[in-house]
């Protein structure tokens, strides 16, 4: 075989191999191009979806803030869900908020009786009368809808004079779509009136003097000597000048109002079980 024939065969083989390689690379590149086009199409759809969501994000944020503000203004809210651990944790949160310690047993009532939109719990124990009154006040007046369905209280077998035994049936109400209890903030409540404890004897064989802080001004024995800028100047029975302002505590009550034009100070006193107005005129003890 001549050299020219040999070279022709070699060149033909090389040309065939190059053709196969080019064909393989073409189909491979075409497949990758199709994949990239499909990926770009999906990415474009995702970008369009994000654009549509971003276009309404401000209105959604405003709606969320409005709903949060509305929820904060509502006096009562029904929880979205409830469980024994949720209610028990909420009671602990209330006592921490009150800075009070109430010793009690917590039990879940029969599930057949609590099926539906509320759960029933039984709470019983012994604690100070003031702490118990504060806890019940918080349960009834905070935003979550918890209701005291049955309540009993007794001073029998109490360890101390101000300790009472109690038992209550508590219902926690819930509804799908309501807020989680962690989303509901606690609100400040006025301290319940503790002037007439239920288990303190109020009928005696002789009239007992009420317990009054001796450091408080007895307005019935004091004289109003001056009024200036919502401050009242009194001279007590010992001749000491005492300066009071609206809200200042005095024996049996507090200073309610200062009327500079009339030269008069009005107190709210609870000396005999009912709150009454007590007026003092300047340079007079009446």
Counting beta carbons within 10 angstroms of the beta carbon of residue 247, is it exposed (0 to 12), middle (13 to 18) or buried (19 or more)?
exposed
The chain-wide mean pLDDT, for the chain, equals 78
Which is more confidently placed, 194 or 154?
A: 154
- In this predicted structure, what is the pLDDT of residue 138? 87
Give pLDDT tens digits for 152-190. 887 655 455 678 888 999 999 888 888 888 888 888 777
Share of the chain above pLDDT 90, in %: 10
Instruction: Indicate the pLDDT class of residue 256, thresholds 50, 70 and 90.
Output: very high
Q: Which two tokens stand for residue 84?
A: 């024994």
What is the DSSP track for the chain? --HHHHHHHHHHHHHHHHHHHHHHHHHHHHHHHHHHHHHHHHHHHHHHHHHHHHHTHHHHHHHHHHHHHHHHH-S-B-BS---HHHHHHHHHHHHHHHT---EEEEEE--TTTS-SSEEEEEEEEEEEHHHHHHHHHHHHHSSB-EEEEEEEEE-TT-SSTTEEEEEEEEEEEB-TTPPPGGGS-----PPPP-SS-TTS----SSPPPP---TTS--GGG-EEEEEETTEEEEE-TTS-EEEE-TT-EETTEEEEEEETTTTEEEEEE-SSSS-EEEEEEBT---
Q: Which residues contact residue 273 at a Cβ distance below 8 angstroms, ignoring those fewer than 6 apart?
A: 195, 196, 202
- In this predicted structure, what is the pLDDT of residue 163? 80
- In this predicted structure, what is the pLDDT of residue 68? 61
CA neighbor of 218 nearest in space, from 252, 182, 189, 172: 252
Instruction: Indicate the pLDDT class of residue 267, thresholds 50, 70 and 90.
Output: very high
Helical pair 3-55 and 57-73, crossing angle rounded to 10 deg: 40
- In this predicted structure, what is the pLDDT of residue 112? 45
Query: Measured between alpha carbons, how far is residue 231 from residues 220, 226, 264, 266, 279 in Å?
Result: 18, 8, 11, 12, 15
pLDDT at 97 over 80: yes
- In this predicted structure, what is the pLDDT of residue 73? 54
Please count the other Cβ atoms lying within 10 Å of the Cβ belonging to residue 80.
Answer: 14
Which is more confidently placed, 172 or 61?
A: 172
- Contact indicator for 119, 159 with CB cutoff of 8 Å: no
- This model's pTM is above 0.85: no
pLDDT at 69 over 60: no
Most confidently predicted of 181-185, 208-212, 228-232: 228-232
pLDDT at 66 over 70: no
Mean pLDDT over 188-194 rounds to 72
């Amino acid at each position: 075989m001549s050299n020219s024939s040999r070279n022709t065969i070699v060149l033909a083989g090389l040309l065939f191999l190059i053709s196969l390689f080019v064909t393989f690379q073409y189909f491979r590149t075409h497949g990758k191009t199709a994949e990239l086009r499909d990926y770009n199409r999906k990415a474009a759809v995702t970008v369009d979806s994000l654009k549509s969501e971003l276009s309404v994000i401000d209105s959604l944020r405003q709606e969320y803030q409005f709903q949060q503000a509305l929820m904060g203004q509502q006096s009562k809210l029904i929880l979205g869900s409830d469980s024994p651990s949720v209610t028990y944790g909420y009671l602990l949160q209330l006592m921490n908020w009150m800075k009070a310690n109430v010793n009690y047993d917590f039990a879940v009532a029969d599930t057949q009786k609590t099926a539906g939109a509320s759960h029933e719990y039984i709470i019983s124990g012994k604690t100070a009368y003031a702490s118990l009154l504060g806890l019940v006040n918080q349960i009834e007046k905070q935003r979550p809808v918890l209701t005291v369905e049955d309540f009993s209280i007794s001073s029998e077998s109490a360890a101390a004079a101000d300790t009472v035994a109690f038992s209550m049936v508590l219902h926690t109400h819930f509804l799908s779509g309501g807020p989680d209890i962690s989303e509901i903030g606690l609100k400040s409540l006025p301290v319940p009136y503790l002037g007439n404890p239920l288990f303190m004897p109020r009928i005696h064989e002789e009239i007992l003097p009420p317990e009054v802080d001796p450091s408080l001004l007895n307005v019935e024995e004091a004289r109003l000597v001056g009024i200036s800028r919502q401050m009242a100047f009194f001279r007590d029975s010992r001749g000491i000048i005492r300066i009071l302002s609206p809200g200042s505590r005095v024996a049996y009550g507090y200073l309610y109002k200062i009327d500079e034009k009339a030269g008069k100070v009005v107190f709210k006193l609870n000396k005999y079980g009912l709150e009454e107005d007590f007026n003092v005129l300047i340079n007079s003890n009446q």
